Structure 1
């Protein structure tokens, strides 16, 4: 320790670096984090058995415009409109800006700080206290101007770790925004497909009304010739009314889905009234890409966001550990202080100070240990959340693929059944008109044909719905763009627990 003279003439003591290091090593033993650690690791995609459920089929990852594969320009326009106007997207973007602001605030903690202040105070000093005459017992105006600077040496990296945690949280928020976009795109596409389903079912129901009207006319003719009775007439009328009610119900469902689409794109319900009938195509062939489990971690925005949160919590643990060590700040100030205005800008009014300030936690009743335990709990939670997100993603892809394959297999038999049912229905009506069959036979054949038509339509729509969901489960064209900043998978899974011990 040596003495130096400040510009004001006061002696200031400066600690040598070696003395500071020794002092820190000795005093830091007062509070410690012994026994607090974590052994949690994030899961690697290769550790899960996926070869049979997710076979490599040399397919392609979805493109950013994956919804264009269905060839419906209106669907593309609705999605683009939603990305521009949806409040959901605005909420996600606001969270990104908030996280970036936190990062800027954390960065400020790693840099020196300079402040300037000026005060003017009118004060009456006591005549019987410390201030002697002529100032004691008089009113004086004190002018005080000060320029100060401070810098936290951050010897243990507390501020740097806080900055890194904030940066990782900002990256997680960006990935969250992409996930919100993908979720919104998927919701619009699946709702739009539901609208297409309702239109197809509406066509089937309208055709059913036409058949029931024909049956009613045939029944009226048979009653005139004495082949049927009033019972058959009432039965035909009841079946016709039921079919018309089904059409009306589908009209209401179509209107409801239009309103839902309007809400999804962030518009009023009247916007839904202008949505035309969908013209969706079959879409691309369903083939899974190679190296699926490994590449998925950078293709699904929710997985990327979860990984960034693990990284943020890792830095949060290191920040909490640094709290146990001495905190050394350097500060300096220079200014002017005088009674009255005449002597304020003179050399005699100068004042200056400089020196280090050391803060060391010695006894805090366990507050720092509790804080570190909390950070470890957050780290463990982030790891568990990442692992669960990965497991859910793999299961989601396998489930969607299985349902698509199942729909393909069912559709073959359903179309055969549809053709047979339609032939049987036409034959029953012909025989009924000719007086060779009764009404019950016709109605049974008609119901079977109706069910077959609905089954084929639903299978086709279900397959497309699962195709949309599969594109979303594969990341919907997202690719993690933060290549330089992102934490490596092996670093997060291996180094984090080691750093947390």
Structure 2
């Protein structure tokens, strides 16, 4: 046969390269793509929600991490630290952070080379009618294989690195949410403690009222002896004494219940609550708002920071899903020994060497990759919506607490004035009652008015402190993010 004929009709090397490129281009054109799948969502900024009037600049300071100590009661600070150390909710948050850290390590491992050692042993009877002729064919053999292998994903499209960035962002989100859980727990303990202080204050008022009405009872007995009053007035004042004593007992029950609630927050049994002593007089810090609100709130609220990182993680997940549409090239190599029997495994003739690329190119998948990308974009849109809602809630929470504090402060002024007037009116009625000028009904009426105003003054004072705790929570409780994403309040545009 004339070999020159074949040489003349064989395509040149250049033609082969052109053909290979053409076939590859055709394959790429035929493969799945993500045309038309996108998102127009973008996270809002603080400037998108005007709040300058509701949240004015007042030159105040942000809360410090040791804000419980600044309320003036060492027991409160100790209780909060105990709750942080023992509460199951915080323990669960720490577990989530640890789990997210493990995901980061797994994702980081995928960005580098992998190596392993594999050993295999098989005892088998080989067919005599295959590529192995006798005496190996139609015999029973023990095969040993020992291989050292390594592989590396070129990650041309950055899929593995995007997965790593997503895992890091998820971990940062979990860390911020752990701080949010800590803040919620701390302020919950503080709210319960302030409520306990209020119950004790109201009990003092009720106990003083018992003494006051017993004093009215003594005056009534003297008037009964002189004929100015009769048995009706005597029994009436006894009813008021018993009713007030009932109030004291009711408050004792509420005090015990609140102690049990505190014990639960501490992660302890109910007996721990019985060890909590009466709260000391608590200081009420200044409620002046810090400057640069609401912009700085983006890095001061752990829930907002967590929502930021959720968006960032979702954006990287979208890029991972996009990379799945492109060819994936994995380089692998293996060296080792393979032989029948035990004595020849490490002979030079038993050596094996394997090396080469593995290329994966999706062509037709029934729309699975496009559906996966749509799901990732939906997660991104959901993260953006959750962030916007968190930001709106945070701004309105700050504004609400500021309005509550200002309202309570105004009520305190009028309530104190009303109490002073009611106390003077009561003192005058006692004088007139002793002199026989006024009946018992007017004395009791003045006494009820004084009691109500006394309760209101005590309640408003502790409500003011409770609102201050709520404002501390609304301002982030001393949390301050240090990551660029959270500090700058910026999230990349839709991926």
Task: Give TM-score scaled by structure 2 length.
Answer: 0.92
The Cα shift of 1:488 comes to 4.6
CA distance in 2, matches of 1:407, 1:260: 26
Q: Which residue of 1 aligns with 2:203?
A: 202
CA distance in 2, matches of 1:137, 1:193: 89
The Cα shift of 1:307 comes to 0.4
The Cα shift of 1:215 comes to 2.2
Q: 1:234 to 1:348 in 2, by over 3 A?
A: same
CA distance in 2, matches of 1:20, 1:113: 31
Contact 1:96 1:173 in 2 (8 A): yes
Q: Which residue of 1 aligns with 2:86?
A: 85
Contact 1:70 1:281 in 2 (8 A): yes
Contact 2:285 2:468 in 1 (8 A): no
Which secondary structure state, in structure 2, belongs to the residue aligned with residue 111 of structure 1?
A: coil
Q: Note if 1:384 corresponds to 2:381.
A: no
Which secondary structure state, in structure 2, belongs to the residue aligned with residue 189 of structure 1?
A: helix
Q: Which residue of 1 aligns with 2:169?
A: 168
CA distance in 2, matches of 1:413, 1:36: 62
CA distance in 2, matches of 1:328, 1:370: 23
The Cα shift of 1:486 comes to 5.4
Contact 1:169 1:312 in 2 (8 A): yes
Q: Which residue of 2 aligns with 1:246?
A: 247
Q: Which residue of 2 aligns with 1:459?
A: 460
Which secondary structure state, in structure 2, belongs to the residue aligned with residue 298 of structure 1?
A: helix
CA distance in 1, matches of 2:21, 2:479: 49
Q: Which residue of 1 aligns with 2:13?
A: none
Which secondary structure state, in structure 1, belongs to the residue aligned with residue 295 of structure 2?
A: helix
Spell out, residue by residue over 1:114-163, the C-alpha distance to the aligned partner (whole angstroms, 9 max, x if none): 11111222223344555443234433211111111111111111111111
Q: Which residue of 2 aligns with 1:155?
A: 156
Contact 1:143 1:344 in 2 (8 A): yes
Q: 1:28 to 1:283 in 2, by over 3 A?
A: farther
Which 4+ residue blocks in structure 1 deviate beyond 4 angstroms? 16-26, 127-131, 485-488
Q: Which residue of 2 aligns with 1:448?
A: 449
CA distance in 1, matches of 2:395, 2:295: 11
Q: 1:455 to 1:471 in 2, by over 3 A?
A: same
Which secondary structure state, in structure 2, belongs to the residue aligned with residue 418 of structure 1?
A: helix
Contact 1:70 1:280 in 2 (8 A): no
Q: 1:481 to 1:489 in 2, by over 3 A?
A: closer
Contact 1:24 1:325 in 2 (8 A): no
CA distance in 2, matches of 1:293, 1:486: 14
Contact 2:481 2:487 in 1 (8 A): no
Matches within 5 A, 1:64-83: 64-83=65-84
CA distance in 2, matches of 1:441, 1:107: 81
Q: Which residue of 1 aligns with 2:413?
A: 412
Q: Work out the number of aligned pairs and report it.
A: 479
The Cα shift of 1:432 comes to 2.3
Matches within 5 A, 1:465-476: 465-476=466-477
Q: Which residue of 2 aligns with 1:265?
A: 266
- The RMSD of aligned alpha carbons is 2.1
Q: 1:167 to 1:295 in 2, by over 3 A?
A: same
The Cα shift of 1:291 comes to 0.7
CA distance in 2, matches of 1:355, 1:165: 30
Contact 1:425 1:445 in 2 (8 A): yes
Task: Give TM-score scaled by structure 1 length.
Answer: 0.91
CA distance in 1, matches of 2:483, 2:291: 23
Q: Which residue of 2 aligns with 1:489?
A: 489
Contact 1:308 1:487 in 2 (8 A): no
Q: 1:190 to 1:238 in 2, by over 3 A?
A: same
The Cα shift of 1:257 comes to 1.1
Unaligned runs of 5+ in 1: 1-15
